[in-house]
Amino acid sequence: MRYLLLPLLLVTSLVRAELPETDWLELMPEEDRLALEAMPEISHDGPELDGTFYNPDGLRQQARDLPAVMYSTKTVATFDNQPIRLGGYPVPLETDARGHSTLFFLVPYPGACIHVPPPPPNQLVLVRYPKGIELEDIYAPLWVSGTLHIEAVSNDLADAAYALDAAQVRLVDEADL
């Protein structure tokens, strides 16, 4: 009897297995990572400190006096059409009839939608998730798994260098930490 349960346990654990985490910096070419590391500290003092929480320019880079790496759309070719799991924070764009987010940007740090400056385009990922997820708090981190594409995305809110067709989106929970 014990031998019959072993294959079932293996299948169950494989079903629950997730892809290894992709680090945000892996989405940047090495030259961009080095430039980012060499960049002086940028102040994130912005709308959240004065209580307005409103940025009419969205996530777009507006201050053209920042280092070039902050505008970079350079990507890493080996990620194109690859399955990944990426952790980050949502910036909702579209919802379905139930109010669940089906299209959102994933960003590497909380509050990127209100901080100045925002992440560079190669650190923004457009997530398409037709199943939708209820987002009660944009400061709650998510795990997003699916197929990553090198795809230039530009809308009124932001420019992104990647898009991800999500198979699974879930909140990060205590067991992940």
Question: How does pLDDT run across 23-38, given as a tens digit for each residue?
Answer: 999 999 999 999 989 8
pLDDT-based confidence at residue 46 (cuts at 50, 70, 90): low
Which helix H or strand E contains 32, and what residues bound it?
helix 30-38
Q: Six-digit token pair at 144?
A: 């997003």
Measured on CA atoms in the order 136, 139, 141, 146, is the torsion positive or negative? positive
In the predicted model, is pLDDT for residue 109 greater than 50?
yes
- Higher-confidence residue of 7 and 97: namely 97
Average pLDDT for residues 169-174, to the nearest whole number?
96
How many other β-carbons are positioned within 10 Å of the β-carbon of residue 82? 13
| Cβ proximity of 104 and 144 under 8 Å | no
- Higher-confidence residue of 49 and 130: namely 130
Which helix H or strand E contains 89, and what residues bound it?
strand 82-95
| Cβ proximity of 130 and 118 under 8 Å | no
| Amino acid at residue number 129 | Y
Per-residue model confidence (pLDDT) at position 116: 61
Q: Six-digit token pair at 21?
A: 């985490």
CA distance 174 to 152: 34
Length of the chain: 177
How many other β-carbons are positioned within 10 Å of the β-carbon of residue 50? 9
Radius of gyration of the chain (CA): 18
Which residue, among 131, 133, 91, 130, has the nearest Cα to 108 in the 3D structure?
A: 91
In the predicted model, is pLDDT for residue 13 greater than 60?
no
Residue 50 to residues 16, 36, 54, 89, 157, Cα–Cα distance (Å)? 44, 28, 10, 22, 21
pLDDT-based confidence at residue 43 (cuts at 50, 70, 90): low
In the predicted model, is pLDDT for residue 142 greater than 90?
yes
